[in-house]
Amino acid sequence: MKLPDTLELAMRNLRQSKLRNGLTTVGISVGVASLVAMLSLGVGLQQLATKRLAGSGMFDTVFVTSKQDFRGFDREEDRKDQHPEKAPLLDDAARDKMAHLEYVTEVEPEIRVMGEILYGGQTHFGFVTGLPMSARENEAFDSMQGKFFSRSDANEVILLKDFAQELEPKDPNGLIGKEVTLRYGEHQPLAADAQSSGSPELGAQGDGSNDGDDYGFSVVRKTQALRVVGIVEEEPYGGMRTVSRGRIFLPVDLTEKLNMAEFGDMRSPLRGQGKTFMTLTVRVKDPARVAQVQDAIKQMGFRTFSVLDATKSLRRFFTVLDLFLGIFGSLALAVATLAIINTLVMAVLERRREIGVMKAIGASDTDVKLLFFTEAGGMGLLGGLLGIALGFAIGKAINLGTGIYLHNHQLPAEAVWVMPAWLIGAAILFSILVSLLAGLYPASRAARLDPVQTLKYE
């Protein structure tokens, strides 16, 4: 038999039992829709997570800490280094060395302290953080009211909108251009003779230098006048960095100049080795060079972390998630496979005479098998197309319901369901393949029929 004749005969046979073949096709479409909806949900969640990480502006960032400060947080690293107490300190010398590494554009400390804003005779508490000038590129500042810092050490402040509403409930944007006063604790070192006298005597510098940290330090209350230059709707870097979890944002160089007392300052006098940083943020020129810079910093004896480390675990998680979603989505398709087998077996029983006549006039076993494979493939193709359409409708309903839920909780809508183009083609091919596999037994059974026996009682 020629291929056009086989296709024509297969389509005619499918049209003869419209109800039974239609129900089988619907079963296939439900199975495909279930599979597509599940896998598309996994793809959407993965893209959402990747988008949030990309929006955080951390793909080109390496976070550096000293092994002395974070013992026990990474047991694998601790096992590699038997003497973390001898690891190098994260001080100004280390910072300068990192700044001279190839592809490094900036090295800034992560500064986050508690402060007070004095405005209108009222005191308002909040965390103060230092932002580098590169933060201007973060998406959180795209919709900012006002402008970014003019310089890295300017006496300017950007406020989180929630905090600005505390200062000016009626018109928070009206704060832009006005002056507020920051009250904070300044880190001042003690003089060498304060240790023996037992009284806190400030060092002679009085300029915020930390050379006297070998003998301890005092926290002195200070104030600084600041001009409000901008109000930001949401936390920068998606709230995923220490400096983003604040309400009052200053230029990072200004925070260093003010020498604010930080939570980790107790380490320096206990060690007697001068000022050190809890965390340094190293920004890389090209995200493709992050791993190279990270390895160079590790060679210096420091512990590093980047989004590349997080994405490895994230990819592993979503691979397992997609596997389970695919398994559960395939259950309905497995049921549809049984329906295909049942439909084609019934067709063999009903068309014994037709098959006998075909074989009697010269049709080979291969021709009979090809006919049943064509019928199974036709149902698989049509079921796959209908399943894609049904799965698309389910996905849109999921996105709509998610958007309504997020809106009710005053959150921006997010697409948690995404159907990529490759999944459409893969679902159709998978549907046809499953249908062909389901047609193996009925086709073999039809090919084995003896034309003499089938026509004997006709």
**Where residue 177 falls among pLDDT bands split at 50, 70, 90?**
very high
Residue 229: the pLDDT is 95
pLDDT at 260 exceeding the cut of 70: yes
For the cut 60, the answer to whether the pLDDT of residue 352 exceeds it is yes
How many other CB atoms sit within 10 Å of the CB of residue 45?
A: 19
- What single-letter DSSP state applies at residue 458? -
Give 384-443 as a DSSP string.
HHHHHHHHHHHHHHHHHHHHHHHHHTT----------HHHHHHHHHHHHHHHHHHTHHHH
pLDDT digit string (tens) for 401-439?
988 988 888 777 788 888 888 889 988 998 888 888 888
What is the token pair recorded at 190? 């003690």
How does pLDDT run across 95-127, given as a tens digit for each residue?
A: 999 999 999 999 988 888 899 999 988 899 999
Q: What is the pLDDT of residue 205?
A: 46
Q: Would you list the DSSP string of 171-191?
A: -GGGGTT-EEEEEEEEEEEBP
CA atoms lying within 13 Å on the CB side of residue 151: 6
Residue 206 reports pLDDT greater than 50: no
Report the predicted TM-score, pTM, of the whole model to 2 decimal places: 0.57
Q: How high is the pLDDT of residue 74?
A: 56
- pLDDT at 79 (0 to 100): 60
Which one, of 302, 282, 309, 307, lies nearest residue 63 by Cα?
Answer: 282
Q: What percent of the chain has pLDDT over 90?
A: 20
Q: Are 61 and 310 spatial neighbours (Cβ–Cβ below 8 Å)? A: no
**Apex 145 CA angle, 140 and 151, nearest 5:** 80
Q: Say which residues have a Cβ less than 8 Å from residue 166's Cβ, sequence separation at least 6.
A: 124
Summarize pLDDT for 292-322 with one digit per residue, the tens: 999 999 899 888 888 776 666 667 777 888 7
For residues 173-188, give the mean pLDDT: 91
Q: Which of 141-145, 154-158, 274-278, 291-295 is the most confident on average?
A: 154-158
